[in-house]
Amino acid sequence: MTNTINTSAPVTTGLYIGGTERQSDSTLKVVDPGKPGVIVGYAAAAGPADVEDAIAAAKGAYAGWSALSTRERADQMRTALEGIADYRDEDAAILSQENGKIRMESWVDSLVFEIRWNLALDLADDVDAAKVLPPAPGIPVSTTVQYQPLGVVTVIVPFNWPIAILAASLPHALLAGNTAIVKPPPTTPLATTRVVQRIAEKLPPGVLNVVTGNDADLSALITSPDVAKVCFTGSVAGGKRIMEMASKSLTRVTLELGGNDAAVMLEDAVLDDAHLDRLYASIFDTTGQICMNAKRIYVHRSRLDEVVAGLSARLDKAVIGYGLDEGTTMGPLHQPAQKAFVTEIIEEAKAAGADVREFGTLPPDPDLQGGNFLRPALVINPDPSLRVVTQEQFGPVIPLIPFDTEDEAVRMANDTWSGLCGSVWTADAESANRVGGRLVCGYVWVNDHGATRLDLRAPFGGMKQSGMGREQGIEGVRAFQDTRAIAHLDPDALAAG
């Protein structure tokens, strides 16, 4: 990763529809969350007519794309990805400015896109795998169960890791034979649009389209009867709105929503530097703005002081600053409203008598004054009814809650609206499997937690209000397919019946 990219000029991106880039009459102004008043760039703001054109382009390309063999689609997709790394430094610099997170995280965001894309292509031989049901007593037919694509798919990604998250579903949808329209987030559309357009330019026109704009103008991407499925990653409230809108046309949905992930640290948890480094990263990566970050830490009472000391030592070294500045380890929150919310729940915990410890120094640079920067905090032994425990903080604050028994820890971990991820920290594999098997969530780590250790081959998704459906792996491909059964009468079985 280099640090030589010129980031002074505003970035502009257009729409990409049916193999052609187009501009729009109005634009989205993309602001820098770390530097008040600074404009990162401008993205085209699509109108309803642009959206209808994108849907028509994807629908028109569907017949030809779905008619290809999976191997032919995979070959074209592999070619389309070539050269993506050539722009990674520049994309990372742009994403860091529009998002706020540090440059390295933005660089990894693009890298994960490439990794996920290639892992999806490795599934090509499994996509068309059919099974045959032979005749059975009273069933004189031989039935072949096949898989078929759905049609036009809309993929909507969030601001925090938009490029990486896109590749948890987009390549799977295309490989399955669907065509797609990508809707980048309105507050961070620039880097994502650039990446997607480069790939779309190498695919047949209409197979992959990019539409940016205000949500109110893009509703047809969800409600149109020509859209077969919507894949949405975002907040719980956003997922509920998507589901309600999609219900009008019975459009299918995959929803990967928020999490209030619990990390359970048993009495025998290993708390050396390596494990504490992992725990720290699982909480504070991207300034706490990752759905699968640890959001609640349940610690055996005998180990609470050690965990607090370990996290405190790391927070003492945190450098709060601008995401592109050398040495910054924690950037600003993405939006002022989120800064206000996190500040509010920290102050609420203080008022309730919790032991709240804040760390670090806000950046002194005058250009950063008024940016969305916040000092990270530990909230030790809070009342479990406080919002810092019950709600997803999505910021640099974490509650640490002691427990005495395993049953108590599991009960508290599961006592939540969410069910995205969880983790168990223990020196004993049997204990890890036992406790992990009792956590009500879609993904469990052992002695680790968070996006850096996510197995990108495995199905990923939540339970409860953390969503529905799965991304990644062959399960992620099947989410963009449906079955077709073809039954042939079997003369021998018919005669015998």
User: Known catalytic residues?
Assistant: 256, 291
CA atoms of 175 and 60, how far apart (whole Å): 17
- Give the dihedral sign, CA 173/175/177/179: positive
CA atoms of 269 and 283, how far apart (whole Å): 17
- Give the dihedral sign, CA 41/180/220/164: negative
CA atoms of 154 and 233, how far apart (whole Å): 11
Q: What is the DSSP secondary-structure string of 431-474?
A: HHHHHHTTS-SSEEEES--SGGG--TTS-B--EETTEES-BSHH
Q: Report CA 171 to chain centroid distance, whole Å.
A: 14
CA atoms of 428 and 107, how far apart (whole Å): 35
β-strand partners of 297: 263, 400
- DSSP secondary structure code for residue 32 in this structure: P
Task: Burial-class residue 161 by CB neighbours within 10 Å (0-12, 13-18, 19+).
Answer: buried
Phi, psi of 72 (to 5 degrees): -65, -40
Q: Taking a C-beta distance cutoff of 8 angstroms, is the pair 39, 10 a contact? A: yes
- DSSP secondary structure code for residue 158 in this structure: -
Phi, psi of 121 (to 5 degrees): -65, -30
Where on the phi/psi map is residue 428: left (φ > 0), alpha (ψ -120 to 50), or beta?
beta
Q: What is the CA radius of gyration of the chain?
A: 24
**What does DSSP say about strands 252-256 and 179-183: parallel, antiparallel, or unpaired?**
unpaired
Distances in Å between the Cα of 193 and the Cα atoms of 90, 197, 209, 275, 292 are 13, 6, 10, 37, 24
CA atoms of 377 and 350, how far apart (whole Å): 11
Task: Burial-class residue 286 by CB neighbours within 10 Å (0-12, 13-18, 19+).
Answer: buried
CA atoms of 328 and 318, how far apart (whole Å): 8
